[in-house]
Structure 1
Amino acid sequence: MIEQTLTVVSIEGATAHLEAQQKQACEGCNGRCGSQVFSKLFGTAKKNFPYRFEVPVVVGQKVTLALDDSHMVKHAFAVYMLPLVLSLVFALVAAEVFSVPEWLQIIAAIGGGFTGFGIAKSRVKSLKHDVKVIKIHPISLPLTQIDGD
Structure 2
Amino acid sequence: MIEQTLTVVALDGATAHLEAQQKKACEGCNGRCGSQVFAKLFGSDKKTFPYQFDKPVEVGQKVTLSLDDSHLVKHAFAVYMLPLFLGLMFAFIGAELLLLSQGWQIIFAAFGGVAGYFLAKSKVKTLQHDIKVIKIHPISLPLTQIDGD
* TM-score normalized by the length of structure 1: 0.94
Q: Is the contact between residue 25 and residue 39 of structure 1 (CA under 8 Å) also seen in structure 2?
A: no
Count of aligned pairs: 149
* AA in 2 matched with 1:117: Y
Q: Structure 1 stretches (4+) deviating beyond 4 angstroms?
A: 144-149
Determine the structure 1 residue equivalent to 2:17.
17
Determine the structure 1 residue equivalent to 2:4.
4
Helix, strand or coil: the match of 2:109? helix
> How well do the aligned residues superpose, as a CA RMSD in angstroms?
1.7
* Counterpart mapping for 1:93-108 below 5 A: 93-108=93-108
Determine the structure 2 residue equivalent to 1:109.
109
CA distance in 2, matches of 1:50, 1:127: 17
| Sequence identity percentage | 73
Q: Report how far residue 148 of structure 1 moved.
A: 9.9
* Counterpart mapping for 1:1-149 below 5 A: 1-143=1-143
Q: Report how far residue 89 of structure 1 moved.
A: 0.5
Sort the Cα spacing of 1:103 and 1:137 in 2 relative to 1 into closer, same or farther, 3 A. Answer: same
CA distance in 1, matches of 2:97, 2:8: 57
CA-to-aligned-CA distance 1:47-70 (integer Å, 9 cap, x gap) = 111111111000000000000000
Which 5+ residue runs of structure 2 have no aligned equivalent? none
Q: Is the contact between residue 61 and residue 137 of structure 1 (CA under 8 Å) also seen in structure 2?
A: yes
Q: Report how far residue 145 of structure 1 moved.
A: 6.5
CA distance in 1, matches of 2:63, 2:29: 31
* TM-score normalized by the length of structure 2: 0.94
Which 5+ residue runs of structure 1 have no aligned equivalent? none
CA-to-aligned-CA distance 1:91-136 (integer Å, 9 cap, x gap) = 1110111111111111111111111110000000110101000000
